Structure 1
């Protein structure tokens, strides 16, 4: 059981804070400071399934599968099967606690060769937490949790290009209606949407069975800010994210395939600014009682403004903007579409979260059944994500016909 102050939990999980420092003349002098972007509901950025989890948390430009909803739903219409369902589970942050878990359920139906629909549920449990007040007095034991529900419609624009729209409902209950500073908290609610594109082109190749080029684009979690109290003016941004991927697959002989995929991600959320200090070392305010920003931009803006502002608002200028781009690289080898070996690498700048890890995993497919497992190796010592496991069980069908389904799965 974890014992956590409500105040500390809210600040740690949700706050988007800047660093008050002395003001240097050169923006590059801000580059050595920690300035990670934080948002509400960061669980939406976790790769929930084992295939992506084994390939460096990438998925924008990999081949279509049942879990495409989490990365690039436009891929669904390129799926070779008609419909499928998948369940994924991951024990999370096991280096810190033993009862935080992530579960993910997804399903899709390819209605025609031109369009498909999909649905997914993502559930994140923070385990049992003993809540305390600011003085450390016990209040109650709760099980904070968050979940999202989303639906996708994907359609081909041309034979090689598709688009998808994904509306999403988000629920986040971190405080179980406890009082903080005399104010009753409430679950956070939000509506959001994703827009995604996917390109896939097959080519003939000399000395090979074939080759495939893939490209993916997605902007996810575009939605209203989230608040955990009706009595506060503070509202936190959702983790709106830009995802770009490029992949290349080689089919050597009809039995052996190798896919290489790269991906970059950037949060489309304002970067915390640097605030000016007064003579006492405290944040300085102007005549309207507004904090004076020494470097960067005001983060208290609307969602559309925040998306565009995120490309030029870092206190360290263009170099810091580049630091906010993380990247992943994934490899997938398959033998007869039956046995899969995967590996990947993920990198995030040390000043923007410092997540750096290697991943690997295997997968097995037999008729309609797919089993995938992924394992994460943290590069840094004592990293909370070290030794993270992901498990995925999925079923893929080529038809809705009952007799054909029985034949595919050899069911009686």
Structure 2
């Protein structure tokens, strides 16, 4: 069994690394007098926005963490496999830039004490501010107003994770995503055409707990899907390859300490439409009750530091938590995220 696990892990590592190299090769343009990088354009960008306040506070470096319950569906589905209770429910809101609101909810169910794995459900709904509709006209302004429209987006998913052993887990997440950009008048007959698209996307990941104390490695691929076309323009979803590690630094000085924990998360990310990124996050926990978090992503265009905090209240069979994170966004509005978790 152990040998089979090592072989399986090696094959999965090789497959994920090969996928990362292929993604890099496809997006890198030829070298000329000035070296350039050719990055793909993507649509359905709402799928790549981080929702969970805890994850965002850690710079989204959450791929290797196995203690986030149903919220692992949004980062690495395999992390859901080691959820220790029967139910986990999470709900929250992200106040994104330009008055865009993201609302999410997720649920994990672990039947028969995990004998059959963990099943998860997720939903993300996005509401955008109203946009003014105009058409060409020969008046002084050069256009006529046609009222407003409000774009929207929605993604509903189902996931599954299973711990193959007490150290190795796999998971997947399938989502039906839809984006509605409203309707517009087309042609001279005044008929309206609606610009909306739906697609299915797949996320999958693996997680490996090493024998070296709390050191854990993980990989995930998110938003794998077919190409879509709006009228004449084709685009793909924001496919992202991630590999990360996490370690409790208190294991270096006080192994087995349950009063304090200081987790360091490091992650390398390869998006389809952006250069490679390094994400670093740190989380200090006091008595598994109070949490302070900070994270940073490099490079970014405007996003700065992430600072967050959380509280967990637990009994023998019940656990509730609240998390908040503040993210600076340069010339844009600062981003606020608030989330609530319940496990029993």
TM-score bracket, normalised by the shorter chain, equals: 0.7 to 0.9
Q: Which residue of structure 1 aligns with residue 67 of structure 2?
A: 64
Cα offset for 1:180? 5.2
Corresponding residue number in structure 2 for 1:310:
none
Q: Quick check: 1:124 aligned with 2:112?
A: no
Q: 1:222 touches 1:240 (CA, 8 Å); kept in 2? A: yes
- C-alpha deviations, 1:302-324, integer Å up to 9, x for none? xxxxxxxxxxxxxxxxxxxxx82
Q: CA deviation at 1:201?
A: 3.6
CA–CA separation in structure 2 for the residues paired with 1:28 and 1:216: 38
Equivalent runs, 1:229-244 vs 2, <5 Å: 229=231, 232=232, 234-244=233-243
Structure 1 residue 141 displacement after superposition: 1.5
Instruction: Indicate yes or no: 2:284 matched with 1:336.
Output: no
- Which aligned pairs between 1:355-394 and structure 2 lie closer than 5 A? 355-367=302-314, 368-378=319-329, 381-382=330-331, 384=332, 386-394=333-341
Give structure 1 regions of 4+ aligned residues with deviation exceeding 4 angstroms: 180-183
Report the equivalent of 1:219: 221
| Structure 2: distance between partners of 1:160 and 1:185 | 49
Deviation at 1:247, TM superposition (A): 0.8
Aligned length: 295
The equivalent residue for 2:12 is: none
Residue 23 of structure 2 corresponds to: none
2:171 alignment partner in structure 1 = 164
Contact 1:261 1:330 (8 Å CA) reproduced: yes
Q: Which residue of 1 aligns with 2:102?
A: 102
Deviation at 1:202, TM superposition (A): 5.7
Could you tell me how far apart the structure 1 residues matched to 2:302 and 2:210 are? 33
Cα distance, 1:328 vs. partner?
0.7
TM-score for the superposition, normalised by structure 1? 0.67
In structure 2, the residue matched to 1:294 is none
Distance in 2 between the 1:214 and 1:30 partners? 36
**Alignment match, 1:153:** 160
Counterpart-to-counterpart distance in 2, 1:268 and 1:44: 13
Q: Deviations over 1:145-200 (max 9, x none)?
A: 101111111112222111112111010001x2223567834311111111211112
Partners of 2:66 and 2:78 lie apart in 1 by 11
Aligned residue runs from structure 1 range 173-322, under 5 A: 173-174=180-181, 176-179=182-185, 184-201=193-210, 203=212, 211-229=213-231, 232=232, 234-249=233-248, 250=250, 252=254, 253-268=257-272
Q: Hey, which of these two has a bigger chunk of strand by percent?
A: 2
Between the aligned partners of 2:33 and 2:169, the Cα distance in structure 1 is: 41
- Which whole-Å CA distance do the structure 2 matches of 1:245 and 1:77 have between them? 17
Counterpart-to-counterpart distance in 1, 2:81 and 2:31? 50
What secondary structure does 2:79 align onto? helix
2:32 counterpart of 1:27: yes
Note the aligned Cα RMSD (angstroms).
2.2
Contact 1:76/1:110 (<8 A) preserved? no
8 Å CA contact 1:346–1:355 kept in 2: the answer is: no
Whether 1:75 aligns to 2:79 is yes
Q: Which SS does the other structure have where 2:263 is aligned?
A: strand
Match of 2:297 in 1: 346
Q: CA deviation at 1:355?
A: 4.2
Q: From the CA coordinates, give the structure whose radius of gyration is larger.
A: 1
In structure 2, what is the Cα distance between the partners aligned to 1:338 and 1:136? 58
Q: Is the partner of 1:212 in helix, strand or coil?
A: coil
CA positional deviation for 1:366: 1.1
